[in-house]
Amino acid sequence: MARHLLSLAEQTPEELRNILDLARQIKLNPRAFAQACAGQTLAMIFQKPSLRTRVSFQTGIYQLGGQGIYLGPTDIQLHRGESIPDTAKVLSRYVDGIMARVFDHAHLEEMAEFGDIPIINGLSDLLHPCQVLADLLTIEEKKGGLKGLKLAYVGDGNNMAHSLLYGGAQFGMTVSISHPRGYAPDAEVVTRAREIAASTGGAIQITEDPAEGVSDADAVYTDVWASMGQEAEAKERNDRFKGFEVDAKLMSNARPDSIFLHCLPAHRGEEVSAEVIDGPRSVVFDEAENRLHAQKAVMVRLMGR
């Protein structure tokens, strides 16, 4: 497979299929993979906070026989101006892989260019591929497949929306994004997702009407209205996103057997009602668990012996 995991647009559908299949095997029989990354070290760079990504990667590499080193926002010299190339070159002399959560996606590409080891995107301003691998694993577990299903994302055209567009397109799904005016997904990402969908039998729909977006969906997805780093815009966004809350009324447009997903952390009463996220159609904690299994599969593929 590709040497890095920066974007779900850079893998072939077969490579992504293999990761999901391996994730399922690892989930079923974790002990069989206890030495899959024996003696390997993963550096985990975080420029932003994290619960799921941090704990699932650190636990995951440990369960594979390796170790993770957490490098928080002020732990290394990046925040004092050391360059990304120098950081990546130095880490390449010590460790076997880097997982990084960064503000600027270009910094991940720079790490991949200047380092000699696999780089895994643990969330950037543009994309969150590891989350979407876990999401797809979850949908497949609950629905028995992916191809031909409709995945409806409601809200901000952000990193989650972008990775769902790529990931859903790769597996031949119909991905709909409904967003308030002014918060559309990146046009280049949409174009690339449409190209991928054209080759897999998938489809991409973009709308400003959430009821239309969610109509007949098999899976409904939302994310916070203000992402990490956008805290100053939170109040304005709360006003602009009115009508985009995933509540029972909006869910009634989806298929009766539809499931609800959220990458978490969630804000009940903003992007999702408590009734929906804590209700019977919500699979958010299976989704969070699947981060562990999906990322172990990624590490075995990229770093495994």
Residue 53 touches ligand CP, criterion: CB under 6 A? yes
Residue 1 touches ligand CP, criterion: CB under 6 A? no
69-98 in b/e form (b: 16+ CB < 10 A) is: eebeeeeeebeeeeebeebbeebbeebbbb
Give residues 263-302 in contact with ligand CP (rule: CB under 6 A).
263-264
Out of ligand NVA, ligand CP, none, what residue 224 binds, judged by CB under 5 to 8 A for its kind, is: ligand NVA
Per-residue tokens: 43: 């550096």
Residue 262 touches ligand CP, criterion: CB under 6 A? no
Nearer to ligand NVA, 95 or 99 (CB): 99
Q: What is the pattern of x (binds ligand NVA, CB under 6 A) and - over residues 221-260? A: --xx--xx--------------------------------
Backbone φ and ψ for 246, nearest 5 degrees, come out as -85, 100
Give the H/E segment covering residue 220: strand 219-222
54 among known catalytic residues: no
223 among known catalytic residues: yes
Measured between alpha carbons, how far is 158 from 88 in angstroms, rounded to an integer?
A: 27
Catalytic, out of 128, 237, 262, 301: 128
Least distance CB 52 / ligand NVA (angstroms): 7
Least distance CB 223 / ligand NVA (angstroms): 5
Least distance CB 198 / ligand CP (angstroms): 29
Out of ligand NVA, ligand CP, none, what residue 227 binds, judged by CB under 5 to 8 A for its kind, is: ligand NVA
Which CA distances in Å does 217 have to 86, 150, 253, 293, 294?
A: 46, 5, 8, 26, 24
Catalytic, out of 11, 47, 131, 295: 131
Give the H/E segment covering residue 162: helix 159-170
Per-residue tokens: 199: 């080759």
Least distance CB 126 / ligand CP (angstroms): 14
Q: What is the pattern of x (binds ligand CP, CB under 6 A) and - over residues 61-100? A: ----------------------------------------
Least distance CB 165 / ligand NVA (angstroms): 14
Q: Which of 100, 94, 91, 55 is nearest to 73 (CA)?
A: 100
Amino acid (one-letter) located at 111:
M
Strands 174-178 and 41-46: unpaired
122-160 in b/e form (b: 16+ CB < 10 A) is: bbbbbbbbbbbbbbbbbbbbbeeebeebbbbbbbbbbbb
Nearer to ligand NVA, 24 or 48 (CB): 48
Least distance CB 77 / ligand CP (angstroms): 23
For residue 265, say if its preceding peptide bond is cis, omega within 30 degrees of 0. Answer: yes
Site residues (vs ligand NVA, CB under 6 A): 123, 158-160, 223-224, 227-228, 263
Catalytically annotated residues: 101, 128, 131, 223, 263, 291
Site residues (vs ligand CP, CB under 6 A): 50-53, 123, 131, 263-264
